[in-house]
A = this chain, B = another copy of it.
């Protein structure tokens, strides 16, 4: 089976007309281009019979549009990003776009590489979860007038479209919640990072303490390096516990930090929440399977992803589209790991 691919030319030949007519008809331009009724009908019929499928590569070359979106995330094997990817993909497909995903591993060089590969592949636009020190890349896109939307993170000093959660508020809520449930010595483990969203998470945490007149001890805030997460999370927990004022609760700034932290807490035979209460950013089955379900900040992943796609698609259809910056709220899902202290 499987004869040659059917092209416009084949249809034109069979119908005894030029390819122009076929193109007009199959693109629904019969009216504007005054194609005869019968001829139009017969073209449609033949196209149907031959099971014509347009060649998108040819279309793309002509139009300069590939109907493809590049999605750059930190790591597709991280559940948060996997979920984002899923939403973005589905939503993009609904709009007739195809998605190409790349994982940057939070590494600016990899991200730069990906960006360029995808630009050369002529993607129409990008949805990006930025890595640290990747400001240059953003400027580059602006320079080249390639449309993009930042997702989950943005740079406070660069004006761009973005869709993120209000990390400050989320963190503040987490801290306040713990305080209201009777915890007085609350630590936070975050990444050592210049990224705005991380700074905001820290700021929110600190603010919740201050507002409740809890005096802060330096040891309570631990910033670990992404590439040494396993070791440094342990050190961080050790430091917090041996602090002048040992913590009775910890807020983890990401899912990955929480996974590592909880493993160590298990190893130390600490009981959650009696020895240590927990609140974490991120979400995945891990938190459900834990013997004491973990209180977490649920980010509106579906909304985030859909909105990012919508913004981008709008920009692609109308490059004059004004800038949009969207902050969404994370919801604190209260479970056992932050049970009221007795």
Chain A residues at the B interface, C-beta cutoff of 8 Å: 1-2, 53-58, 60-61, 66, 75-79, 82-83, 85-86, 89-90, 93, 98-103, 117-122, 143-145, 259, 262-263, 266, 284-291
- A166 to B39 Cα, complex, angstroms: 58
- A287 to B284 Cα, complex, angstroms: 12
**How many protomers of this protein does the assembly include?**
2
Q: Would you call A290 and B288 a contact (CB within 8 A)?
A: no
22 chain-A/chain-B pairs, Cβ below 8 angstroms: A1-B144, A2-B143, A2-B144, A53-B119, A53-B120, A55-B61, A55-B122, A56-B120, A58-B61, A61-B61, A75-B86, A76-B76, A77-B85, A77-B86, A79-B79, A89-B101, A93-B117, A284-B285, A285-B286, A286-B288, A289-B290, A291-B291
A27 CB → nearest B CB, Å: 15
- Residues on B with beta carbons closer than 8 Å to the beta carbon of A143: 1-2
Listed residue (A86, A93, A290) with the most chain B CB atoms within 10 angstroms of its CB: A86
Q: Would you call A57 and B61 a contact (CB within 8 A)?
A: yes
Q: Which residue of B lies closest to A113 (CB)?
A: B93
- Residues on B with beta carbons closer than 8 Å to the beta carbon of A102: 89, 93
Q: Would you call A82 and B77 a contact (CB within 8 A)?
A: yes
- A120 to B67 Cα, complex, angstroms: 12
- A76 to B71 Cα, complex, angstroms: 14
- A178 to B340 Cα, complex, angstroms: 40
- A288 to B256 Cα, complex, angstroms: 13
Q: Which residue of B lies closest to A301 (CB)?
A: B77
Q: Which residue of B lies closest to A58 (CB)?
A: B61
- A290 to B285 Cα, complex, angstroms: 10
Q: Would you call B54 and A120 a contact (CB within 8 A)?
A: yes
Q: Which residue of B lies closest to A259 (CB)?
A: B285
Q: Which residue of B lies closest to A78 (CB)?
A: B82
- Residues on B with beta carbons closer than 8 Å to the beta carbon of A120: 53-54, 56
- Residues on B with beta carbons closer than 8 Å to the beta carbon of A2: 143-145
- Residues on B with beta carbons closer than 8 Å to the beta carbon of A289: 259, 262-263, 266, 286-287, 289-290
Q: Would you call B82 and A121 a contact (CB within 8 A)?
A: no
Q: Would you call A121 and B56 a contact (CB within 8 A)?
A: yes
- Residues on B with beta carbons closer than 8 Å to the beta carbon of A93: 102, 117
- A134 to B61 Cα, complex, angstroms: 33
Q: Would you call A79 and B77 a contact (CB within 8 A)?
A: yes
- Residues on B with beta carbons closer than 8 Å to the beta carbon of A144: 1-2
Q: Which residue of B lies closest to A53 (CB)?
A: B120
- Residues on B with beta carbons closer than 8 Å to the beta carbon of A122: 55-57
Closest 3 CB pairs of A and B: A291-B291, A82-B82, A77-B86
